[in-house]
C-alpha cells in the first residue's frame, strides 16, 4: 500500500494526463452515440486547416445546413431520426400529444422508433418491471449498507475444518457477535470463562488454550492484520460496486416510470377518440 501511494504521488502528472485522455474519449464516444455523428468537430478541423466554412452554391449549403441541423436535433433530444422529415414528425407528435420532452428522453429506450409517422410506446410489462426493480434496489441498498458497515469492522472472519465461523482481532477472539465473552489476555486466565466459551462455541478448552498461546505472538498479529486488510478491501469493493449498481438501478427505474407515464398518458388521450368513433 505504501509503495502504491508513493508511486501515485510521484506520478501525479502522468495520472492526470491519463485521466484527461480517458475523460475526452468518454465525452467523444458519448456525443457520437447520442448524435450519430461528429460533424461539428470535423467542421472546426476543416476550418482550422484553412478550408472554407460555407459553400458558394446555395443548394450545397442547404444540404450542409440540414445535416448539421439534424445532428444538433439528435444530440439535443436523443431521438434517432435519420432525416429532417422524421425530426419534424417527432415534433408534431410531441406538440399534438402535449408530451414532456424530459419524459421522452428518459423513456426513449421504450419508444418504438421504427415508424415516425406512428410513434408509440413498446409493449412491455412495465408494472412488473417496476416491482422487481424496486425489490432489487432494496436488496442492493441493504447489501451496500452491510458491506460498508462490515468493512469498518476490526474483526476478520475465520474458520477451521469442521467448525463454525469465529471472529479475530489483534487483541481478542469472538465466537459470536452477540456473545458476552471473548477470548483475550484476561479471559484466558479464567478457567470458568474458558469453560463457558467452550460450551458456547463448541471448541474444546484445549483448543481455546492453543488460541490463547497463539494470540499474543507477533506473527499471529501480523497474519490477522493482513487478513483484516484483505477483508476490508473486498468488502469496500463490494460496497462501491453495490453503490454503482444502486444508482444504475435507480436510473433504470426512472426510465420505466417515465415509459409507464407516457403510455398511460397516450392511452388516456386515445380513449375519447375510441368512444367518439363508437358512438
The average pLDDT across 150-162 equals 77
How many residues make up the chain in this entry? Answer: 279
Q: Give the gyration radius of the chain's Cα atoms.
A: 32
In the 8-state DSSP scheme, what is residue 173? E
Q: What is the pLDDT of residue 112?
A: 93
Q: Mind listing the pLDDT tens digit for each residue in 198-240?
A: 887 777 888 888 888 887 788 877 888 888 888 888 889 999 9
Q: Residue 196: pLDDT above 50?
A: yes
Query: At residue 5, does pLDDT exceed 60?
Result: no
pLDDT at 70 over 50: yes
pLDDT tens, residue by residue, 92-105:
999 998 999 999 99
Tell me what pLDDT residue 279 has: 47
d(CA 117, CA 83): 13
The Cα–Cα gap between 68 and 43 comes to: 10
What integer pLDDT is reported at residue 93 of this predicted model? 93
d(CA 234, CA 150): 10
| pLDDT > 70 fraction of the chain, expressed in percent and rounded | 90
First to last CA, the chain: 78
pLDDT at 88 over 80: yes
The predicted-structure confidence for 108-119, as pLDDT tens digits, reads as follows 999 999 999 999
| Spatial CA neighbour of 251 closest among 140, 99, 146, 145 | 140
Strand bridging mode 120-121 / 156-158: unpaired
pLDDT confidence of residue 11: 67
Q: Which of 108, 216, 102, 203 is nearest to 162 (CA)?
A: 203
- Residue 222's pLDDT is 83
- Which cell numbers hold the place of 97? 400529444
pLDDT digits (tens, 9 = 90+) for 45-66: 888 888 888 888 999 999 999 9
The per-residue pLDDT for 276 is 47
Higher pLDDT, 116 or 7: 116
Per-residue pLDDT at 131: 87
The C-alpha cell that represents 132 in the structure block: 422487481
List the grid coordinates of 154.
476490526
Query: By C-alpha distance, which of 27, 49, 47, 48 is closest to 38?
Result: 27
62: enclosing H helix or E strand: helix 58-77
| Structure confidence at residue 171 (pLDDT) | 80
Largest CA distance in the chain: 101
Question: For the residues 122-149, what does the mean pLDDT come to?
Answer: 89
pLDDT of residue 229: 85
Task: Determine the pLDDT at residue 174.
Answer: 81
pLDDT attached to residue 194: 82
Contact (CB, 8 A) for 148 and 261: no
Res 6: pLDDT = 60
Q: Which residues pair with 157 in a beta bridge?
A: 167
Beta-bridge partners for 112: 120
What is the pTM (predicted TM-score) of this model? Answer: 0.66
d(CA 44, CA 107) in angstroms, rounded, equals 33
| Candidate from 138-142, 164-168, 188-192, 230-234 with smallest mean pLDDT | 164-168
The neighbouring-strand residues paired with 173 are: 168, 183
Are the CB atoms for 146 and 246 separated by under 8 Å?
Answer: no
Average pLDDT score over the chain: 83
Q: With pLDDT > 90 as the criterion, what percentage of the chain qualifies?
A: 26
**The C-alpha cell of 157 is what?**
472472519
Alpha-carbon span 69 to 5, nearest angstrom: 49
Amino acid at each position: 500500500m505504501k509503495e502504491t501511494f508513493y508511486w501515485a504521488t510521484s506520478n501525479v502528472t502522468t495520472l492526470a494526463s491519463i485521466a484527461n485522455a480517458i475523460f475526452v474519449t468518454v465525452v467523444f464516444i458519448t456525443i457520437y452515440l447520442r448524435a450519430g455523428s461528429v460533424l461539428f468537430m470535423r467542421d472546426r478541423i476543416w476550418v482550422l486547416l484553412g478550408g472554407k466554412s460555407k459553400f458558394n452554391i446555395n443548394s450545397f449549403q442547404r444540404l450542409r445546413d440540414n445535416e448539421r441541423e439534424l445532428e444538433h436535433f439528435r444530440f439535443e433530444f436523443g431521438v434517432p431520426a435519420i432525416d429532417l422529415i422524421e425530426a419534424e414528425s417527432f415534433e408534431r407528435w410531441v406538440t399534438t400529444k402535449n408530451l414532456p420532452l424530459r419524459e421522452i428522453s428518459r423513456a426513449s429506450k421504450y419508444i418504438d422508433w421504427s415508424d415516425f409517422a406512428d410513434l408509440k410506446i413498446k409493449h412491455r410489462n412495465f408494472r412488473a418491471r417496476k416491482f422487481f426493480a424496486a425489490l432489487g434496489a432494496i436488496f442492493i441498498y441493504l447489501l451496500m449498507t452491510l458491506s460498508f458497515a462490515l468493512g469498518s469492522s476490526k474483526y476478520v472472519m475465520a474458520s477451521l475444518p469442521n467448525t463454525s465461523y469465529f471472529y479475530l482481532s489483534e487483541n481478542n477472539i469472538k465466537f459470536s457477535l452477540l456473545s458476552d465473552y471473548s477470548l483475550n489476555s484476561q479471559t484466558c486466565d479464567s478457567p470458568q470463562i474458558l469453560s463457558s466459551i467452550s460450551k458456547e462455541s463448541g471448541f474444546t478448552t484445549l483448543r481455546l488454550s492453543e488460541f490463547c498461546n497463539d494470540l499474543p505472538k507477533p506473527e499471529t498479529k501480523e497474519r490477522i492484520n493482513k487478513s483484516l486488510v484483505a477483508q476490508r478491501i473486498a468488502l469496500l469493493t463490494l460496497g462501491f460496486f453495490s453503490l454503482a449498481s444502486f444508482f444504475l438501478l435507480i436510473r433504470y427505474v426512472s426510465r420505466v416510470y417515465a415509459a409507464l407515464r407516457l403510455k398511460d398518458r397516450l392511452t388516456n388521450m386515445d380513449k375519447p377518440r375510441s368512444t367518439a368513433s363508437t358512438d
